[in-house]
Amino acid sequence: MQILTIPTTPISGQKPGTSGLRKKTSVFQSRHYLENFAQSIIDATGGAERRTFVVGGDGRYFNDRAAQVILRMLAANGARRAIVGQGAVLSTPAASHLIRLNGTDGGFILSASHNPGGKDADFGLKFNMPNGGPAPEAVTEAIYARTQTITDYRVLEATDVDLAKIGEQELGKMQVSVVDPVADYAALMESLFDFPKMRTLFSKGFRMRFDAMCAVTGPYAVEILERRLGAAPGTVTHATPLPDFGGMHPDPNPTWAHELMAEMMDPGAPDFGAASDGDGDRNMVVGQGIYVSPSDSLAVLAANVHLAPAYRGGLKGIARSMPTSGAADRVAEALGVQAHETPTGWKFFGNLLDDGRATICGEESFGTGSDHVREKDGLWAVLLWLNILAERSETVQEIMKGHWSHFGRNYYSRHDYEALPTEVAATIMDGLRARLGDLPGTAVAGLTVEGADDFAYLDPVDGSRSTAQGLRLRFTDGSRCVLRASGTGTEGATLRLYLERFVPGPGGLDQEVQQALAPVIEAAEALTALKKLSGRNGPDVVT
Ligand code: VG1
Ligand code: CO
């Protein structure tokens, strides 16, 4: 087998966003595109010589082809070993776990996560570090810089590795270990939670629905929920991963997981419902007749996490992304633990988790996780909820109401304006940014602006600074809104408007969310002119 050095030239736009590089599948399939980016990752992270990597993805269209290319490139770059999920499939949290479990030098995760998959949809690739977490900004910038100077890449001339077969193979001088994608992950979950107690819950007739959305979590959820915990067969729906996710948009929110929502709002609903995204790191949680917002879910999980065996000792701290509601901060305060506010994207939690400053982390975008891996973890969150439900013997509804009456309620919603022309989005963002200094004191829609800034983050562990992470407007009554440009889309620019209002209770805890937020929504429009400038009647997706 021969190592080929292929001359290439830089390709523009290979800049990783919030979570890796995401592009249309056809772009990734174009000449040298994947190879240039993969070689740039290898070059910018110190080469692959004698190293071990994990390789796997969410199973979307092109996943298998891309995995074969990456394996041949790792072999050509001198890697010692690659650990690959069977069929080149690994959920993102399972990949993070394998990176850590095997003490490897990192991992290549093939996924565009919650973005639709298929020939005409999206593909993505990201690199995770030896700690199992997404590469931090300094590394993704170095990768991007390398894509702009690259002159050649190395690839082994070889036939495909048989990724259907579990066991050891050789690719040139590199060892390829094909592993069961589920086994180690399921064992990890079993070590964290009280499986016997959860089994008892199911044996008493507890009913659950888990919508895997034809994405990667199907096999994980069937193994853990149905086989190990004894949930009724068929609890997991859309359980077979498909290359195009069966045409579903694998984003677990009330809009895209509407089948689950409809079932859970029905009078005969199961006791507990959940869904996960394309690569298995997101979760949506729904009770009988009640949707749990991700920001609330983080707060409730943090307040109850001591009920699960692995967390009996309590929390070191709670971290949330800036746009996520302050509900978790109230729990941190009550527990007397550190509260951290980071920019959007899981890469910012890694240092806090590694340094023992946080145990549990979350984002408003349906992401929750803990220090058991270095990614958000959809099934982990669902299992923690189940463990809490088994311990408390209350319904989701009772737990939520109890939480609000104790801590007060942070009404919260996100309004997405998708695929706007890039210039329009830039005009809206730049216009507001330019006026931030003048806004404090402005009264609008019955609210008064108290503070306005462009969020910047100073990492307390490594001292790195990240700027321009979202425009924040804080009102005197504690409400706030945030305007931020998405970094995961592949078409035009998506703007996200995050809205929050705190009601301390005892009254006013049962309002309809958009109604409770009406003054903030009105003030946000008056200040950002988002609808007016975008020419849209309203948001495309409301979560
Ligand atoms: C979105 C979410 C962010 C999340 C990211 C990756 O990013 O807002 O919270 O970490 O997706 O999630 P953005 O830049 O589009 O707002 V996943 O599950 O797509 O890896
Ligand atoms: Co995801």
Per-residue confidence band for 1, with pLDDT thresholds at 50, 70 and 90:
confident
pLDDT at site 490 = 84
pLDDT at site 465 = 94
pLDDT at site 505 = 87
**CB distance 342 to 457 below 8 Å:** yes
What confidence tens digit (pLDDT) does each residue in 61-110 have? 999 999 999 999 999 999 999 999 999 999 999 999 999 999 999 999 99
Q: Is a pLDDT exceeding 90 seen at residue 351?
A: yes
CA 280 – ligand 2 centroid, Å = 6
- Counts for the chain of helices (H) and strands (E), in that order: 18, 27
Hey, whose CA ends up nearest to atom 6 of ligand 1?
A: 19
Hey, whose CA ends up nearest to atom 2 of ligand 1?
A: 365
pLDDT at site 322 = 98
CA 111 – ligand 2 centroid, Å = 8
Q: How, if at all, do strands 447-454 and 471-475 pair?
A: antiparallel
Query: In order of start, what are the domains of the chain with their CATH numbers?
Result: 2-181 (3.40.120.10), 185-407 (3.40.120.10), 409-542 (3.30.310.50)
Q: Is a pLDDT exceeding 90 seen at residue 489?
A: no
Distances (CA, A) of 394 to 272, 284, 378, 391, 401: 11, 19, 22, 8, 11
CA 56 – ligand 2 centroid, Å = 14
pLDDT at site 23 = 96
- H-run or E-run covering 541: strand 541-542
Rounded Cα–Cα distance for residues 194 and 302 (Å): 17
| 346 in contact with ligand 1, CB cutoff 6 A | yes
Selecting among 40, 91, 113, 276, the annotated active-site residue is: 113
What confidence tens digit (pLDDT) does each residue in 193-226 have? 999 999 999 999 999 999 999 999 999 999 999 9
Q: Is a pLDDT exceeding 90 seen at residue 461?
A: yes
Q: Is a pLDDT exceeding 90 seen at residue 412?
A: yes
What confidence tens digit (pLDDT) does each residue in 27-69 have? 999 999 999 999 999 999 999 999 999 999 999 999 999 999 9
Ligand index nearest the alpha carbon of residue 484: 1
Q: What mean pLDDT do residues 422-449 have?
A: 94
Select from 344, 346, 415, 484 the residue to mutate for testing ligand 1; criterion: most ligand atoms less than 8 Å from CB.
344
Select from 15, 19, 21, 22 the residue to mutate for testing ligand 1; criterion: most ligand atoms less than 8 Å from CB.
19
Atom of ligand 1 nearest to the CA of 111: 20
CA 530 – ligand 1 centroid, Å = 21
Q: Is a pLDDT exceeding 90 seen at residue 491?
A: no
pTM: 0.94
Atom of ligand 1 nearest to the CA of 496: 16
Q: DSSP characters for 256-276?
A: TTHHHHHHHHSTT--SEEEEE
What confidence tens digit (pLDDT) does each residue in 231-242 have? 999 999 999 999
What confidence tens digit (pLDDT) does each residue in 174-198 have? 999 999 999 999 999 999 999 999 9
| 367 in contact with ligand 1, CB cutoff 6 A | yes
| 96 in contact with ligand 1, CB cutoff 6 A | no
Per-residue confidence band for 248, with pLDDT thresholds at 50, 70 and 90:
confident
| 114 in contact with ligand 1, CB cutoff 6 A | yes
| 281 in contact with ligand 1, CB cutoff 6 A | yes
Percent over 70 (pLDDT), the chain: 100
To the query of whether residue 113 is one of the catalytic residues in this protein, the response is yes
Nearest to 127 by CA among 217, 80, 57: 57
Q: What contacts 114, CB < 8 A, 6 or more positions away?
A: 249, 250, 251, 252, 277, 278, 279, 282, 488
CA 178 – ligand 1 centroid, Å = 29
Look-up of token digits 């190990």: 228
Q: Is a pLDDT exceeding 90 seen at residue 487?
A: no
Ligand index nearest the alpha carbon of residue 366: 1
Beta bridge partners of 124: 22
CA 18 – ligand 1 centroid, Å = 6
What confidence tens digit (pLDDT) does each residue in 257-303 have? 999 999 999 999 999 999 999 999 999 999 999 999 999 999 999 99
Hey, whose CA ends up nearest to atom 5 of ligand 1?
A: 345
Rounded Cα–Cα distance for residues 509 and 110 (Å): 42
Q: What is the mean pLDDT of the chain?
A: 96
Atom of ligand 1 nearest to the CA of 92: 20
How far is the first Cα of the chain from the last one, in angstroms, to the nearest whole number?
52
Atom of ligand 1 nearest to the CA of 18: 14
Atom of ligand 1 nearest to the CA of 281: 18
| 488 in contact with ligand 1, CB cutoff 6 A | yes
**CB distance 322 to 342 below 8 Å:** yes
